[in-house]
Amino acid sequence: MDNSEKTEVVLLACGSFNPITNMHLRLFELAKDYLNGTGKYRVIKGIISPVGDAYKKKGLISAHHRVIMAELATKNSEWVEVDTWESLQKEWVETAKVLRHHQEKLEAGSCDHQQDAPMQARPGQKRKWAEQRQDISPKKLLEPKPKDVPKIKLLCGADLLESFAVPNLWKSEDITQIVGDYGLICITRAGNDAQKFIYESDTLWKHRNNIHLVNEWVTNDISSTKIRRALRRGQSVRYLVPDLVREYIEKHDLYSYESEEKNAGVILAPLQRKPADTHS
């Protein structure tokens, strides 16, 4: 299949990134290799979307720092970038909404691009384009072909997939939307457990073709929790997080016993919302 027939994909990873680690960055690499390897997709971009402070997770330091660390971590990446929209919202935003925001942004961007195309062309081409435009109806110009708009997919680890089962954490219509309208790329060591989890859920089972399980052969346990713990204990985190991130953490003395107590006793934002309050 040549490139024009492949579905373009943008991988979106939501999470605390508190702090970002080499494991997070690896998720993108593994997902990209997997999707490109199927021959059906072409991954064109990766987006890291750190959660807003209103999430109220214990130990969550200010979004400002988490965003900067993610930017430092992706400085040397040619395709993964950081998006601050979610972190800038005053209220916590459901993952399904973040996905929708980014998908709509892609669609709007695709639209503008088609309209602007004549402007960006060289003078010689412009004339040619103008001649050809007479044959194309204005309506066609404004509506991008579905295949031309890249598709957003949620990138995650098995912990997120299995968190779908945590009572009141996710709205069932959000889960349906995530796996139905967008799709999930889940990097996991325990492929069998994840498959079983999908099998045992009617919603997930229905959309199983849109849930890609990617096996992580090499256990890569660099969780942010362990990084924070190591930092509190004065242990080195070198080679577990990018050097620029480590230097930033040291310079700003970000993680300590005090910082870990932030939001202690506070209920996580998604659990605070009663089903009646929210409309997706």
Residue 199: φ, ψ to 5°? -60, -35
Q: Shortest gap between Cβ of 231 and other proteins (angstroms)?
A: 11
Nearer to other proteins, 30 or 60 (CB): 30
Largest separation between any pair of C-alpha atoms in the chain: 69
Q: Shortest gap between Cβ of 43 and other proteins (angstroms)?
A: 11
Nearer to other proteins, 31 or 178 (CB): 31
Q: Shortest gap between Cβ of 246 and other proteins (angstroms)?
A: 10
Q: Shortest gap between Cβ of 255 and other proteins (angstroms)?
A: 14
Nearer to other proteins, 232 or 273 (CB): 232
Q: What is the spatial distance between Cα 255 and Cα 61, in angstroms, rounded to a whole number?
A: 8
Nearer to other proteins, 251 or 274 (CB): 251
Q: Shortest gap between Cβ of 35 and other proteins (angstroms)?
A: 12
Q: Shortest gap between Cβ of 222 and other proteins (angstroms)?
A: 5
Nearer to other proteins, 223 or 263 (CB): 223
Q: Shortest gap between Cβ of 266 and other proteins (angstroms)?
A: 27
Tell me the Cα Rg of the chain. Answer: 21
Nearer to other proteins, 4 or 236 (CB): 236
Nearer to other proteins, 235 or 278 (CB): 235
- What 3-state class would DSSP assign to 55? helix
Q: Shortest gap between Cβ of 236 and other proteins (angstroms)?
A: 4
**Which own/partner pairs from 140-143 qualify as long-range (CB within 8 Å, at least 24 positions apart)?**
141/114, 141/115, 142/111, 142/114, 142/115
Q: What is the spatial distance between Cα 166 and Cα 276, in angstroms, rounded to a whole number?
A: 18
Chain positions contacting other proteins, by CB under 8 A: 22, 25-26, 29-30, 32-33, 76-77, 217-223, 226-227, 229-230, 234-236, 238-240, 242-243
Distances (CA, A) of 115 to 24, 96, 112: 36, 29, 5
Residues ≥6 apart with Cβ < 8 Å to 267? 56
HEC string for 72-130:
HHCCCCCCEEECCHHHHCCCCCCHHHHHHHHHHHHHHHHHHHHHHHHHHCCHHHHHHHH
Nearer to other proteins, 81 or 181 (CB): 81
For 69, the token pair is 């660390």
Does residue 183 contact residue 211 with C-beta atoms inside 8 Å?
Answer: yes
How many other CB atoms are there within 10 angstroms of residue 255's CB atom? 23
